Chains A and B, each alone.
Chain A
Amino acid sequence: MDGFSYNKILFAALTIFFTINYGLILQGIIGKIYARVGRRIGIRLFQPYFNIIRQWATRSAISHGVMYYLGPVFRFTGGAGILIFTPLILDAPLFNSFTYAGDVVLVSYFIFLGTLGMALGGGEAGHPYSAIAVTRGLAQTAAFEISLMLAIYSIAVQYNTISITEIIRAQQGGVLNWTLFTNPIATAAAMLAFLGSMMRSPFDVVLAPQEIPVGPPTEYQSQFLAMLMTNRTIFPVAKTVLYVNLFFGGVALYDSYLLTFVVFFLKTFFVYLWSVFVGVSFPRFRVDQSIRFFIKWPLLIGVIAVVAANIRY
């Protein structure tokens, strides 16, 4: 929990840069997996790089207004913010630049800043579909966040802290110390919530990517879209890292940098893959269905997790 120093600015920038690259690669891999599951060849691994560069370089752009203009800025600020508020790798100063700003509560609320900004930006574009998508997204978020919150409460009681760093530290010393094993019920609740937050099938009616794509990003083009796409590379990573930190032991700084990165990669990849895995296996819910789903099973599990933690610790 250090205070501010100027090199942290550099660290933060590096963190963002690192994550962008990692995110792009991850996107390529996931795209490939999706295609292969569907028995297609799929995109090239580095296709996301090309896409994003192409968008940034687009010359023409139109803007519907101030909020429209600022929407992507908000969005990216939100994404980047979570990233640098979250410890990516335990005790690595480079990846802990601004973690002293706050704990898990800060991070989980900061997520909404970007969402809100983008929703407002899309709103000013004037297309009704973007608002429809936002309402769906918000409704679904409200539903799954409850079980996530219960899970976090459960582990907060378990570890007696809400500092992410401290939670990771408590899980060190062997696989069996992970929350996954010490508090499986909370983990289950959280992982169900994670599905909702990734907006993949069965919870992807928000964006409905297969049909007419809706949502704020649809309203954007050129560098506005580029900024959103950049955010889209780091945002899932940041979220995944948060789950890894809370439930899967986080990523400790090993003696070997390589090992550290491998662990980081594996953990985030498999957590991410969990949503992909479910996504390719299940059909889509309507919004009201997904709300009902979340306030049934995940909620119940979450309540059990909290009650159990309350009794045990």
Chain B
Amino acid sequence: MVKKVFILLMIILTGLILWSFVPGYESRTALPEVSAHYVEKGPEELGAANIVTAVVVTYRGLDTLGEVTILFAASAVVGLLIHLNKNENKRRREGSEILRTGTALLFPLILLFGIYVFINGHLTPGGGFQGGAIIASAVVLQVLAYPNRKIGHGLLSVIESLSGFTYVLLGAAGVFLTVNGFLDNRILPLGEYGSLLSAGLIPVIYTLVGLKVGSELSSVVISLNGESEEEQL
């Protein structure tokens, strides 16, 4: 009890620290210089309608690469731990009839939706991460419906590796082709503003990210389900 009161006190004090920011806060009325640059010059410079995507994939592309890397590392850790602790699988209760039927119905649709989301990342809200997460949710549905079905990592890991590898290579291509152009999307023509094949490299990168995130999250889910990686899909 005393401990909880103490913890409460500490949390209140932490709250006070954070609170000290609040009095000085006021919603902005104008954008900071750099953001203004993005909003005003971004569409012309990069050809992406979704400025957030432009920021994510190009202006702050290094962050995104790092982000992908974090997911990659997380899935590698999951893989490592699963690899190190191969224990026999307990049988789990199969999903219900409704779930299984629903899964069979929804699985391709969800996949398709996921792909749509990351391909259109530069135009609409959405992008590689979102799309990848949607794809992974399809896999989650699979796992829930058929917890005892063996799903291997083979294909997933090939997709993951190839997409990641290509992403990095495309980023590096910028260094070859332009000055200081690591992750520059303009090594491909910007195309017509607002169309699917526009904004240079952005849709390509987002596709790769989507594939990579989707396969990574999927393999994490599969691994957490306790499957061994040895079986093939």
| Contact present between A and B (CB < 8 A) | no
